[in-house]
A and B are shown apart, each in its own frame.
Chain A
Amino acid sequence: MHARSRIAQLVVLLVVVPLSAAHAGRTFVVGPRQGLSQPSAPLVAPSISKIDIALRGALADPMRRDDRHRIAKRGQSGRGFVVVEQSANGSTVFPVFVESRNVAQTLIAIRALGGSVSTTTRSVLVARLAPETVESIAGRNEVVRIEGSYRDSLKMDLSRADIRADQVYAGISLPNAFKGAGVVVGVVDSGIDWTHSDFKNASGQTRILSIWDQTTSGKPPSGYSVGYECTAANINASQCPERDTNTHGTHVAGIAAGNGRSRSGAPLRGIAPEADLIIVKTDLSEANIIAGVDYIFKRAQALGKPAVVNLSLAGHVGPHDGTSSYERTLSDLTGAGKLVAAANSNEGNSRIHMGYNAQGTSYSTGISTLVNAEKELTLIDLWYNSGVVSVGLRANLVVNGQLQKLDELPAISTGQTARRALTDGGTIIGYASIETEARPEGGRHVFVAIDNNETPSIDLSKIVWELYTFGSGRIDGWTTKGVFDALNQPSDGFIGGDTSMTVGMPATANNVIAVGAYVTRPSWVDVDGQTRAYDPPVSIGAISSFSSLGPTRDGRRRPSISAPGQAIVSTLSSTPEENAREYFAQGGSYRIEQGTSQASPHVTGLLALMLQARSSLGVSEALSILQGTARKDGNTGGSANNTFGDGKIDALAAVQAIAGTGTVTPPPGNGAALRLLNGRFEITLAAKDTGRSNKSGNGVPIAEPGNNLFGYFSIPDLTGDAGNPEVFIKVLDVGGGKYWVFYSGLTDLEYTLTVRDTATGKSKAYKKAIGSFCGDADTSFSTFPGGTITVLSVVEKPLLQFSSNAMPLASIHASLSDRLGVAAKAQPAGLNTVSEARVIHPTANCSSALNLFASRFSLTMAAQDPRSGGLGCGLALPKTDIFGYYSIPDLTSNPSNPEVFTKMLDARQFDNGNFWIFVGRLTDFSVALRVDDRQTQKSFLTDPPMPGGNLCGAVYVFKP
């Protein structure tokens, strides 16, 4: 037997167990279903306690199970609960994850009970179980846990992947992993649901160091005069009265630092999942916000930890130039190891700003702007730095298309105050005030307030308010609770409002990192299984229409940077004051939100990772790194601007800029090099079976005759087979001194590829963590390998947004299977199997086949570009009897460019008659394979297909 990669090593484990047990007709008695049919009975049996709660619920409730079964048959979501499937004979089965201390024994037991196992890892089996067998499996001594399968239609990992935070988490191309350990993430917001599992550690203790609730009283923190402070001890004792009924703060905290513990595998973890948390529940007054930031920094400093504070809030009363006391105080609080990120605000499509050069000497020669007031109160804040501007206010009606003045607060200039009730025919229509001041720092400020004095019958919104100015000097103004342009359009003779300078305060403060929002998810599935989408639709990668625009009033660019803000799934408070089920997801522990509120904590989390790498990081340096490593693409434009700032954050590049790309462990022995591009690049591979056997080994290069840009490695030190291909690499010369590197593999071993440029003598390393089949693509450096390294994600064509989720898996499946001339007979979605398929087109479009196992199996491949939707066939390039690869000339126009690799292994003697198919790729196209068994005359289809948008491989299992 050849030991082939990590999966092959598992095989060794399987064959040493006594197979006789599986074949001796051993009968597993299905025990009584303790409590399952009697919901009122306590679920105390140890076996039951091993089953996750949602799965227990599904097992105990046949009606709901049947309902979900119907939903599953329609191909819809399982209502946010566990997935239920229908087997070929019509019975109900649950796809589950079984954690076991002895995978082989559990595998045998599952099969003995009529279940199936599609995938195994060192400690987990992915299985399908009949409902009545779940408890029996749970009762086995070696079984630790059984969890249901959920449809992961909503993932924080979309935005994490977009900013390459997952690579930082895994320590790829870094000296080590960075998860925010030793850093305090502070959140000043609406509070937090401290009972949420994502804010607890593995032992169930809170990760929150303290909570200061400023909205209540009774126990202020030491040194402060208001509020109620809960310590970690209070929280762990469930003695903290704070609740986040708004849910905003809980969501924001989850993005920055949630650890995702609520779900197996933590798919919804935040950016800095190992950071400590300090929470301030604020009443949103600027003074209390400042006190909150002060509190967080002081508490962190007392612990000797760096801190970053998130402010997903903003306002528009103030100069917007960094000179207000609010802005300056906040800036003064920052420093080395003390950073603040803030939402750029959400008025990018609201005309709350007006700006122009004043003119004239009276009303008739001046400039007017119309204002849409809200019913009860509208504030207008006007600022100018030089000249003299007089400001007045008129109340009008529109009569026969003309403005008819009702009343007026005549214009005043700096140093004057005017106020009075405005009337129409003796009836008060509003109370207006204009206050002016000359600020000590030289600026001029005019504050206009219109209110109804809490008189319900006075409706300010029914009046056309006309703000007029005359004089000289550049004037900028913002409305709060209103917009410029009455009647929703600028009219002749009036200066309209605009959306520039809509960045809010405190994002305008000098030492605050202001964050704009862009789209990473256009739709989602809610907790009731309904697919929701934005109307009008939004495009992945585009700026969110609401994301406020810069610059600041003094001309500084805003936002500083942009991050994912639409739509983001994160932690949901368990005490929501509104039941917005369309935004609830994942069984109710998470919810969808959008806003620069959601973008800012992505940066906050990233800053925590950066602070872990360098605790003394200051504002200027942090900002310089964020901006210097930011990604630019077709949406951001090629240069910094007041929409995206310097671009989209790149977590990996930013942390690399501080921590470096890591020290590559020298390969043991004399690792031979693969030479590509006429020997310009020498590539070596070092691999390790980390955490398992911990053995290390060299890669043995296998050059491809006639192919100067591609080669692969076997790892005989670990697999015992020098001819067994494991890791593939391709280096493309794209001209202009630029090179792109793609790598991927058919192994889950940890490995590091070191690419040495013989022309410069410099090297660059790419590290893949153990347990993953995902490769990556480095397409962004301008020169190889010097300069700032900015490694883009798995995008073969830089500047294009990859969009795997824009194309539903079902659609990919249908398109590709049609191309392959087959349709799966059964589609047990979610697990890597090879389903028996029926031939629907006798002559398939994709006919170029790899013929493996002495031509017993014919493998054809179809691919789909996730961006264009274009379909193509694999052109088979056979190598050995078990291995070959495909180019995709239909989509790449290059018949010799290897893109998809496949390897078949005969696992029948130790895996219940199954064959295994490994598929890897150096492309982010979606991929499906058809397998025809010429011996049994059966056809099979990989199910599900490999979705586009990454360079991840997969292992499929099938029984011919």
Chain B
Amino acid sequence: MQRSALSLVTLNVLMVVAFMAGCTTGDSAPQARDNPPSVSIQRNIEGKIDAALAMVVNDPAAMERLRKNPSAGRSAIPFVIEETPDGRLLVPVFVESRDVSATAAAIRAAGGSVETTVASRLVARVPLNGIATLAGRDEVTRIESTSRSELKRR
């Protein structure tokens, strides 16, 4: 496919350079442009966790950051996450299960709560660090995170 010139140039290179000069670095060290870092590639946990949730749960660095400081960086997490007064992170999730009673008991035992059960699905709050364990249970077939809707006034 031909990728031709853009007809509209709105970015000013000098401006971008100036912006770059003011950048700070996060956890990742500055990388040379001509020497990109290697890409972290790994597999999802048995396909039971939705991609947004897996993006965090499967990222040890992200989990470690959140463990150290639950309040930091949460706005960049692509799903709803709640912090309890005692600093725990709970994730509101939908859990599909072949045995909702057993799953509900497991969630509560892990410090979570179940809001309601509809058919084979539980609407629950699960500790962030308990997601992987929950996904590992035989009767659990799917865990989906929740995003935040917007009110549709214009």
Contact = CB atoms under 8 A, between A and B. Distances in A.
B55 A246 contact: no
Given A324-B144, A329-B94, A487 B10 contact: yes
Contacts of A428: 23, 25-26, 28, 30-31
B92 to A, nearest CB: 3
Interface residues of A, number: 113
B8 A487 contact: yes
B119 interface: yes
A401 B9 contact: yes
A487 B41 CA distance: 31
A333 B116 CA distance: 11
Contact of B44 (A402, A410, A417): A417
Given A328-B121, A487-B8, A595-B152, A317 B72 contact: no
A511 interface: no
Interface stretch (A263-271, A444-452, A946-954): A444-452
B54 A437 contact: yes
A491 B25 contact: no
A493 B24 contact: no
B50 A424 contact: no
Contacts of A365: 1
A391 to B, nearest CB: 11
A494 B40 contact: no
Contacts of A634: none
A544 B146 CA distance: 29
A286 B147 contact: yes
B30 A423 contact: yes
Contacts of B147: 285-286, 315, 317-318, 480
Contacts of B109: none
B75 A454 contact: yes
A291 B4 contact: no
Given A428-B30, A446-B51, A325 B121 contact: yes
B139 interface: no
A417 B42 contact: yes
A860 interface: no
A913 B123 CA distance: 74
A453 B76 contact: yes
Interface string B23-53: 1111110111100110111111001111110
A420 B37 contact: yes
Given A428-B28, A431-B76, A436 B44 contact: yes
B1 to A, nearest CB: 6
Contacts of A367: 1
Contacts, number: 305
Contacts of A397: 11, 13, 16
Nearest to A330: B118
A488 B11 CA distance: 13
Given A366-B1, A428-B25, A493-B2, A312 B151 contact: yes
Contact of B80 (A287, A429, A446, A480): A287
Interface string A328-364: 1100110000000001011000000000000010001
A189 B149 CA distance: 10
Instruction: Report the contact-size class of chain B (Cβ under 8 Å from the partner).
Output: 35 or more
A421 interface: yes
B50 A597 contact: no
A868 to B, nearest CB: 30
Contacts of B20: 424-425, 427, 429
Interface string A443-470: 0011101011111011100101000000
Interface string A375-416: 011010000000000000000011111110011111010011
A324 B3 CA distance: 36
B1 A287 contact: no
A922 B48 CA distance: 66
Contacts of A492: 2-5, 7
Interface in B137-154: 141-142, 144, 146-154
Contacts of B55: 417, 419, 433, 435, 447, 449
Given A190-B151, A285-B92, A364 B1 contact: yes
Contacts of B125: 225-226, 287
Given A397-B16, A449-B55, A593 B3 contact: no
Contacts of B16: 397, 462
A248 B5 contact: no
A546 interface: yes
A596 B36 contact: no
A23 interface: no
A437 B44 contact: yes
A289 interface: yes
A416 B25 CA distance: 26
A313 interface: yes
B29 to A, nearest CB: 9
Contact of A493 (B1, B76, B154): B1
A544 B1 CA distance: 37
A325 B144 contact: yes
B78 interface: yes
27 contacts: A246-B151, A285-B147, A286-B149, A287-B146, A288-B115, A290-B115, A315-B147, A325-B94, A346-B154, A376-B75, A397-B16, A398-B6, A402-B5, A406-B33, A416-B43, A417-B42, A419-B39, A419-B55, A420-B40, A435-B44, A445-B51, A453-B76, A454-B75, A455-B26, A458-B24, A492-B4, A595-B152
Interface of B: 1-11, 13, 15-16, 19-28, 30-33, 36-37, 39-44, 47-52, 54-55, 58-59, 72-73, 75-76, 78-80, 92-94, 96, 113-116, 118-119, 121, 123-125, 141-142, 144, 146-154
Given A416-B43, A420-B39, 20 more contacts: A189-B151, A283-B148, A287-B80, A317-B52, A377-B76, A377-B78, A379-B52, A397-B11, A402-B5, A409-B39, A418-B40, A421-B28, A424-B20, A435-B44, A447-B55, A454-B73, A462-B15, A462-B16, A492-B3, A566-B154
The 9 closest A-B CB pairs, nearest first, are A325-B94, A287-B92, A286-B146, A451-B76, A447-B51, A421-B28, A317-B147, A595-B154, A426-B30
